[in-house]
Amino acid sequence: MIRKARISDVVEMKQIINTYSKEELMLARSLSEMYENIRDYYIYEIEGKVVGCCALHVVWEDLAEILALAVKPECARKGVGTKLVSACLEDAEDLGMKDVFALTYVPDFFETMGFNIVDKNSLPRKIWSGCIRCPKFPDCNEIAVVKSVNT
């Protein structure tokens, strides 16, 4: 079941994200950042246990970012990530966003959901505010993907 995240979900969400951040497959998220942005997050739960999370963060009047998509390894490739991203896309559409982007190491997943690979430099400078705090900046090798949701 997908639902909006609650404060009580944050520690479990961070543990799932850490599974991948330790392998440098995604960026780590601090507890403070997750608590501050809890309204951005969706979780997927099975039998009351959080098995995945994803966030939609509004960047500007017509642009939002999908971030922190992580699914427990034992639940991967079972549609959990697809359902989480779909929930974020529906939210973006309801909010009136024009475009949704993600920075990812797995562009193929996003391409199956209708995203297109773009040059990171084509994204507005506003997105770089998050990048500046990243330990990989400026040598990031994530791939930018974008999808129009309200055209």
The CATH number for 13's domain is 3.40.630.30
Q: Percent of the chain beyond pLDDT 70?
A: 88
Q: What is the pLDDT of residue 121?
A: 80
* Amino acid 125: pLDDT: 60
Integer Cα distance of 33 and 49 in angstroms:
22
Task: Quote the domain boundaries for residue 101.
Answer: 2-148
Residues 20 and 16: their CA atoms lie apart, in Å, by 7
Give the per-residue pLDDT at 23. 87
Number of independent structural domains in the chain: 1
Q: How confident is the model at residue 16, as a pLDDT? A: 96
The residues, ordered by sequence, that sit 6+ positions from 103 with a Cβ below 8 Å of its Cβ are 65, 67, 120, 140, 142, 143, 144, 145
pLDDT in tens, 9-38: 999 999 999 999 888 888 888 999 999 999
- Tens digit of each residue's pLDDT (9 = 90 or more) over 43-95: 999 999 999 999 999 998 999 999 999 999 999 999 999 999 999 999 999 99
**Global pTM exceeds 0.85:** yes
